[in-house]
Amino acid sequence: MLIINSEYLVAPLFCSGNILEKYVEDLRILNEVIDDESFQVFKECNIVEEMRVLDFYPSDAHFKKIISQDINSRFSANDIVRVLFRLLNAIPEYSNIIDNYEIEWKAQSTDPILSYLSDIRKSHYKDLFHKVIFQSILAQQESYIFSLQKNSIFNTNFDIEIDTGILLIEPEILGTVPLDIKKNITVFGGVKDVIVKLNGYDIYKRADSAQSLKLAFYFGVLNYLSLNKIGRLISWDDFDIGQYFYESLINNQCANTQQFSTLVYDTVIKTICRKRDELKVKPFRISENSNTQKTFEGLKGFRCHLTRGHEALRLMFWSDPETRKIIFANVGPKMELIISDP
């Protein structure tokens, strides 16, 4: 469960540094996660009004000022606000089973001590911490909180130890009270650090479109880079899924949980991460006896060995020699080797 708070959504207005590129990519990825319905994503209640009270209402005027300080920005203020409000309109408000109970809490403290934009925001986070703690006790469900501290760098995470407790609760469901509670919570400043904790193959197993395949591979890429301590940055726009790719997966037992699904999933991720030394990647030639590489509107075609034996499957993809962007075209058997248009 992901819980989006006001400070995260207006991060460029009070965080330090030029962060617009990372910020917009975060918003785009969250929109993809919501569209795919793979994970629960919520926003804090009355979030637009909360931002207005803080004088951080996400308007064109606010973002124009930020963009004027970043001459390399590819985005207009209108672009950013449009993506932001698409996200806001798609996310339901966060509700919690705690509302069904009368609870007297022990005084709450955090280590380290946090800074807040106002006393109202301090109260908001005190209540939110109570809610996610109660949720984890009662439903064994972990929550990922998105927020940022003033003047912090975007994507900064804060590990917090919360000391609190429940003195009384009605109706009684916890057994013995009072109950002392110490809970470690991470407040996340960027979506990628949450993604690395999640399993992209779970998305792949039910993917039924190019959009959901791309999301599955993106999750897998970030997880692979993190697990293998590879300091390479892979963005959402560094690869894409061709129009015939999903159909070819179905036809060759490579989709969802079919026979070769894990093999294709792992190979695609290594290809995106440029780990081609571990793969058998060769140029896709225009014919068996030719040394000329197949091209499509400036893109160069490649093939990658997947399986031996009867199937002898190959993964075909296009690569832009200037940007190095990859477009996965299709999977097919060696005996009928073709590369589909992007």
Q: What percent of the chain has pLDDT over 90?
A: 68
Quick check: 71 pLDDT over 90?
no
Quick check: 257 pLDDT over 80?
yes
Q: How many alpha carbons fall within 13 Å on the CB side of residue 244?
A: 16
- For the chain, the distance separating the N- and C-terminal CA atoms, rounded to the nearest angstrom, is 35
Instruction: For the chain, give every domain's residue range.
Output: 2-193, 200-336
**What average pLDDT does the segment 289-304 reach?**
95
Which pLDDT band, with edges at 50, 70 and 90, does 86 fall under?
very high
Rounded distance between C-alpha atoms, residue 160 and residue 244, angstroms: 46
Quick check: 191 pLDDT over 80?
yes
Q: Of 61-65, 71-75, 179-183, which range is least confident?
A: 71-75
The tens digit of pLDDT for each residue in 125-178 reads 999 999 999 989 887 878 999 999 877 888 889 999 999 999 999 998 888 889
Residue 287: both structure tokens together? 């014919």
> How is domain 200-336 classified at the architecture level of CATH?
2-Layer Sandwich (3.30)
